[in-house]
Structure 1
């Protein structure tokens, strides 16, 4: 079905240039952090929410395979149109009643916003019911490192450990613990500081959890405004949308094709 998705050459040239520009900066920063300058340690997750499938196809044809979506129905519709080997990441707020819809997507690769035991259990149960033969969904536990009321995520140690224990239990077969995720506060992300304290908090949670459970968790933190700091502080994924795909339209004006 992807063969029917067309795009113009000017848009292709623009998006590839913008992607490569971001990738170059990410690689430069990653080489400073990782042993032997291994830039592949940091994934550039292209955030494609509210952008048409044609934009995704441009980057897919350029070799990009991992894309992040914020809205369940949009992800489902794009997954039907685009190639099956795309690794879809759900990075929007996870609702319990949407877990079953997400779990039906065969190539749903990751859910990065698990913020309760109830949601983890529902996602595992739904994957078992609807796509038991597909790969387990990689999951990140979302931590609210800024403690802002408007942000999703856990910050209570008992609740965090409870979710981690479920992921590591025999009951949890259809989703798999991958790492931790946070969205830092806007103010902190735009400060002129050597260290982002919200990212530092996530790093401390990783150390605590790894020490207690013997895990080796990955980190997803950093977006267009603060991804350089995130890489310096140890992220293994940065989520970049606007710097690659440009400004997003209002939700009511977005189109799938």
Structure 2
């Protein structure tokens, strides 16, 4: 089986699962965007996915993400989905269409400066950390989301798209996704355009769809086991 055939087969299975989850939740399939997370996979895989109809891809490390975005010729929306250092924000603003991991004001200001310098508008989602026990984990506390949303919405070059979360390991993800949806409703009261809800990965995206997710970040289920890095 060629790599294209393998990806097509895996993608079809994931699409069937998304269709079924949307049907079970009574939601239109077009309300949910599949973001295929291509971190550690080669640019050739991204090109193949684009040929199979994928429109959104996710990366989580700079400069790997930037190098890949420059190499791939297909017209795609690039989502940066990993924790981001402030000193790399300007470079990421030059190629990312959406940064899903905004979690502090300093980062928002750096992304804004980078977007302005590049003459671009960059969508941002606020990453929410519902765990709070790991100081190294990306994400802002739920109580701080509204204030950060207010700042991001006012900064030039940025577009506040919504919220994102990663369910903590070892817990039932559905209550986490429900909490994110409730928090998003409160944010939309002040920022009606912030309608995106990014939640769910290969193992739990059906729960995310049931909770109202608009964006699913799926890597392994489409691309297979990640390459072992030396």
Q: Is the TM value for this pair above 0.5?
A: yes
**Number of residue pairs the alignment of both structures matches:** 229
User: Could you list the runs of 5+ residues in structure 1 that have no partner in the other structure?
Assistant: 1-8, 253-257
RMSD, matched Cα: 1.7
Matches within 5 A, 1:94-133: 94-105=84-95, 108-129=96-117, 131-132=118-119
Out of 232, 239, 246, which is 2:210 matched to? 232
Runs of 4+ residues over 4 Å off in structure 1? 212-216
Conserved 8 A contact 1:146-1:198: no
Give the direction of change, closer, same or farther, for the CA distance of 1:86–1:55 in structure 2 (3 Å limit).
Answer: same
Q: Which has the larger radius of gyration?
A: 1
Give the direction of change, closer, same or farther, for the CA distance of 1:243–1:50 in structure 2 (3 Å limit).
Answer: same
Partner of 1:59: 49
User: Could you list the runs of 5+ residues in structure 2 that have no partner in the other structure?
Assistant: none
**CA deviation profile, 1:109-141 (whole Å, cap 9, x unmatched):** 110000001101110111111x11x3x111100
SS at match of 1:140: strand
Give the direction of change, closer, same or farther, for the CA distance of 1:59–1:215 in structure 2 (3 Å limit).
Answer: closer
* TM superposition shift of 1:201: 1.6
Partner of 1:50: 40
Partner of 1:5: none
Partner of 1:180: 163
Matches within 5 A, 1:144-159: 144-149=129-134, 150-157=136-143, 159=144
Conserved 8 A contact 2:36-2:217: yes
* TM superposition shift of 1:28: 1.7
Partner of 2:67: 77
SS at match of 2:181: helix
Relative to structure 2, which stretch is displaced further, 9-18 or 227-236? 9-18
SS at match of 1:148: coil
Conserved 8 A contact 1:100-1:122: yes
